[in-house]
């Protein structure tokens, strides 16, 4: 894992981030959404995972009222299955601790079994479901929380 580094996202990363977003999600965030998050959202923290200066993953985190909300997290399909999601989650936990967060939350599709398994391994628990949350399929979202940051 020495070839990989995580850094704060900057505007020059957004093209690559949006490509990964479109490869990863049925309802991807737009270029403009990421611009807005980086330039206007004062509680947002966005980080990129780089391999040889190439963006291969990223995450978004809102830090507010002592709670972190993971807005998105993705790894380029070519690099999945080698532990990079864990690397991003470790960084999320580190950033959350640095910012004195006491809990983390996220939403995940009920069909995203790989992500759910990883989140549970990190101590996230299912606390609720949002029926029909995802507009593209009507799929439910699982709301997960981790309280022991």
Burial label, 11 (beta-carbon count in 10 A; 0-12, 13-18, 19+): exposed
98/29 Cα distance (integer angstroms): 27
119 is catalytic: yes
Percent of the chain clearing pLDDT 70 (strictly above): 99
pLDDT in tens, 40-74: 999 999 999 999 999 999 999 999 999 999 999 99
Average pLDDT over residues 93-105: 98
Q: Which residue segments constitute the domains of the chain, with CATH numbers given? A: 4-146 (3.40.630.30)
107 is catalytic: yes
Out of 107, 122, 126, 147, the active site residue is 107
Predicted TM-score (pTM) of the model is 0.95
CB-CB contact of 73 with 85 (8 Å): yes
Question: Alpha helix (H) ranges present in the chain?
Answer: 14-24, 31-40, 84-98, 113-121
Q: What is the pLDDT of residue 2?
A: 74
Task: Identify the active-site residue in 67, 98, 119, 122.
Answer: 119
Per-residue model confidence as pLDDT tens digits over 71-89: 999 999 999 999 999 999 9
Q: How far is CA 119 from the centre of its chain?
A: 11
User: Degrees (nearest 5) of the Cα angle 92, 6, 50?
Assistant: 135
Average per-residue pLDDT in the chain? 97
Q: Is the pLDDT of residue 1 over 80?
A: no
Under the banding of pLDDT at 50, 70 and 90, the label for residue 103 is very high
């Amino acid at each position: 894992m020495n070839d990989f580094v995580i850094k704060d996202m900057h505007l020059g990363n957004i093209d690559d981030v949006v490509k990964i977003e479109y490869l990863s999600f049925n309802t991807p965030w737009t270029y403009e959404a990421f611009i807005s998050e980086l330039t206007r959202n004062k509680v947002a923290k966005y980080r990129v995972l780089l391999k040889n200066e190439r963006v291969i993953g990223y995450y978004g985190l809102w830090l507010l009222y002592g709670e972190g909300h993971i807005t998105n997290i993705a790894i380029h399909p070519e690099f999945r299955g080698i532990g990079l999601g864990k690397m991003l989650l470790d960084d999320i936990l580190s950033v959350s601790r640095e910012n004195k967060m006491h809990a983390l939350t996220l939403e995940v599709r009920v069909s995203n079994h790989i992500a759910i398994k990883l989140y549970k391994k990190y101590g996230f628990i299912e606390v609720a479901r949002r029926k029909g949350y995802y507009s593209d399929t009507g799929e439910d979202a699982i709301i997960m929380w981790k309280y022991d940051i």
